[in-house]
Structure 1
Amino acid sequence: MAEEKYRKYRTGQGVPVEGEYICQSGKRAKLNIRDNFPVCPLSNKETTWTHE
């Protein structure tokens, strides 16, 4: 599970582990395991996310 903290996920991918994620713009989102990674809450465009 430690590698999950450093892995980057893209908009549209499935969330592998429930928790807080941070997008490229620095915005945080609490995501559940059944969610897909959303667009950036700031720009409304595709982004990458990392696990908090």
Structure 2
Amino acid sequence: MKDPDLRTESLNYMIKQLDQVINEEIAKYVSIMVRSDSDRESVKSSTNPNIRKKV
């Protein structure tokens, strides 16, 4: 591209779109359900059965 304004505008648009896609993909993998641990013991995780309560 020879027009610097068009190039800058195009790059800004592409970066904005890419950022949106990245954020959507991250949201798919980072949505974690929080479980209370108010008694300060480890909580057994349904996704990781190797994590058990401290005795």
- Which structure: greater helix fraction? 2
Where on the TM-score scale, by shorter chain, does this alignment land: which range? under 0.3
Which structure: larger Rg? Answer: 2
| TM-score when normalising by structure 2 | 0.23
| TM-score when normalising by structure 1 | 0.24
Higher relative contact order (CA 8 A, sep 6+): 1
- Which structure: greater strand fraction? 1
